[in-house]
Amino acid sequence: MILSKSLLLYTFLSSVYLHCVICSSNTHHIDSFLISCGEANPVRSEDGRVFQPDFNNTHVSISPISDIIVSTSQMGVPKMLSSARVFTTSSIYTFSTKKTGRHWLRLHFYPVKNARFDLDSAVFSVEANGITLIHEFSFFRGGNQSQSQSQSRSQSYHLFKEYVVDVTGLSSGKLVLGLLPWDNSIAFVNGIEVVYVPDKVFSSKVVPIPLGVARELPVRVGFETVYRINMGGSRLSPKNDSLWRIWESDVSFLLNPAAARNVSVNPDLIRFRDGVSTDIAPNWVYATAEEMADARVSDQRFNISWRFEVEQGFGYFIRLHFCDIVASRLHDLVFNVYINNQSAIDSLDISQRARGLSAAYFVDFFTNVSMGSDNILVQVGPNHLTGYLPTALLNGLEIMKMSNPSDSLDGRLGVNLDSTDVKKSKSTRLMIVVLSCLGGVFVIVVLLLISFMCFLCCRRKKKPKEDDSLGWSPLPTYVGNSGNKFSSSTFGSTTCLHSLGQMISFSEVREATRNFDKSLLLGSGGFGKVYKGVLENGLVVAIKRGNPRSQQGLVEFKTEIEMLSKLRHKHLVSLIGYCEELNEMILVYEFMAGGPLRRHLYGSNLPPLTWKQRVEILVGAAKGLHYLHTGVSETIIHRDVKTTNILLDENLDAKVADFGLSKFGPSLNQTHVSTAVKGSFGYLDPEYFRRQQLTEKSDVYSFGVVMLEVLCARPAINPALPREQVNIAEWAISWQKKGEIAKIMDPNLMGRVNLESLKKYCETAEKCLSENGNQRPSMGDVLWNLEYALQFQGVDVGDADSMRGISEIPDRIPEVESVDMETVSDLDLESNGTMRD
Spell out the SS3 assignment of 254-313: ECCHHHEEEEECCHHHCECCCCCCCCCCCHHHHCEEEEECCCCCCCCCCCEEEEEECCCC
Question: How many residues appear in the chain?
Answer: 837
Q: Residue 640 catalytic?
A: yes
Distance CA 608, CA 192 (A): 41
Distance CA 483, CA 565 (A): 8
Residue 765's Cβ-side half-sphere holds a number of Cα atoms within 13 Å equal to: 30
Cis bond leading into 722, ω under 30°? no
Cis bond leading into 548, ω under 30°? no
Count other C-beta atoms under 10 Å from residue 154's C-beta: 16
Catalytic residue among 640, 685, 699, 837: 640
Q: What angle do CA 597, 600, 603 make, to 5 degrees?
A: 110
Q: What is the largest CA-CA distance in the chain?
A: 103
Quote the radius of gyration of the chain (alpha carbons, Å). Answer: 30
Nearest-10 crossing angle of helices 728-737, 755-768: 130
Would you say 544 is a known binding-site residue?
yes
CB 672 within 8 A of CB 695: yes
Count other C-beta atoms under 10 Å from residue 441's C-beta: 8
Residue 748's nearest CA partner among 679, 802, 820 is 802
Question: At 33, which amino acid appears?
Answer: F
Q: What angle do CA 160, 166, 169 make, to 5 degrees?
A: 150
Q: What angle do CA 182, 134, 680 make, to 5 degrees?
A: 70
Bridging pattern class, strands 187-189 and 159-167: unpaired
Distance CA 655, CA 632 (A): 17
| 429: Cβ contacts below 8 Å, ≥ 6 apart | none
CB 267 within 8 A of CB 283: yes
Kindly list the catalytic residues: 640
Binding site per annotation, positions for ATP: 544
Binding site per annotation, positions: 544
